[in-house]
A = this chain, B = another copy of it.
C-alpha cells in the first residue's frame, strides 16, 4: 500500500514479476477490495501464485516509527512482516515508510546474534561494475563496533550476490591513517585485525565511483547524504543534457539519437530505484523499494528478494558472523 504510487504501480510489477519467474508465489497484503480489482483480469494459471491477504490499516509515509510500532496492529506492513516471522512468507518487499519498516522489522524479526542494529544496503553503479554501500540511513549515529558489523554484513551479502573475496573499504575524507573522525579510525583498527575479511583500508567519495572497492562502509547519515546527493546530481545532469540537446538544430538531431541512451544511463544511475535496498542483520529478509520507484523499480526489489531467498542470506550471515564477530 506504500510508496508514491501505491498498489497501482506495485500490482502490475508483481504480475510482470510472476510472468518472468515461474516458481515464486506472491502475497499482496493490503486493502483486499482494491487488490481484487487490480488483479481481476489475471489469467487463472497466474492467479494460483498470487494471493491476497486483507489488512484494514495502512502506515502513512510520514508516520513516526514509534506510532507505527504501538498503533495499527492490522497494518499491511506489520502483517507482511508477521508472515515472514511465522514462516508463511520467505521475504517482505515494501515501498512504504522506511523508518516504520525498519522499526517493525527489528521488533518482529529480531536481529541475528551479535548484531546490534540492522543496516540498509544497496548496489551503487561504479566505473567497473557496482559496489555495495551501507548503511544508507537506518543508523545516523554509529560506533566503531557498528561500522565493523556493517563491514562484515556487507562482505557476506556481496559474496552471496556473487562477488568472490569482496574488497571492503571504510568511507573517509582521505586515505592516510591520520584522516577521519574518531569512529572511523577505531573501526579501521578493528577491521585491520579481522581475519576472513578482505579489508583494503580507507576510500574517498570519488574512489567509490571509480570502483576501488566492492563493499563501502559508512554511518547512515553519510550513506544517506551520499546516495541522495548522487540521485540529485544524476537528475540534474540528465536535465542539463536535455537542455543542451534542445539548444540548437544539430544538437536537436543529436538529441533524438542520444535521448534513449541518456534515459538508460539515468536508470542505471538511480540505484535505489533500480535495485531496492536490503535490510541486513535481521532474522528474515526485508527489501525496501524506493518510494518513488515505478513498476520496473519495484520489480527489481522483488528480484533482489528472490536472490536473497535462494541464497538464504540470513542463514549465511548467521554462519559467518559466528566466526567473524
Contact = CB atoms under 8 A, between A and B. Distances in A.
Contact of A265 (B140, B241, B257): B241
Interface in A165-217: 171, 173, 176, 178, 180-182, 204-210
A226 interface: yes
Contact of A229 (B206, B244, B261): B206
Nearest to A98: B174
Contact of A173 (B182, B220, B234): B220
A250 interface: yes
A218 B235 CA distance: 22
A208 B221 contact: no
Contacts of A239: 127
A233 B208 CA distance: 9
A301 to B, nearest CB: 20
Contacts of A258: 244-245, 251, 254, 258
A269 interface: yes
A237 B220 CA distance: 25
A260 to B, nearest CB: 10
Interface residues of A, number: 56
A141 interface: yes
A126 interface: yes
Contact of A251 (B176, B206, B257): B257
A253 B207 CA distance: 32
A224 interface: yes
B244 A250 contact: no
Interface string A238-269: 01110011000011011001100110010011
B224 A226 contact: no
- Interchain residue pairs A-B with the least CB separation, the first 9: A205-B229, A205-B228, A206-B232, A209-B232, A173-B224, A254-B254, A140-B181, A244-B261, A254-B257
10 contacts: A126-B236, A127-B236, A137-B173, A173-B224, A209-B229, A209-B235, A218-B225, A222-B222, A225-B226, A233-B269
Interface of A: 62, 64, 125-127, 137, 140-141, 171, 173, 176, 178, 180-182, 204-210, 218, 220-222, 224-237, 239-241, 244-245, 250-251, 253-254, 257-258, 261-262, 265, 268-269
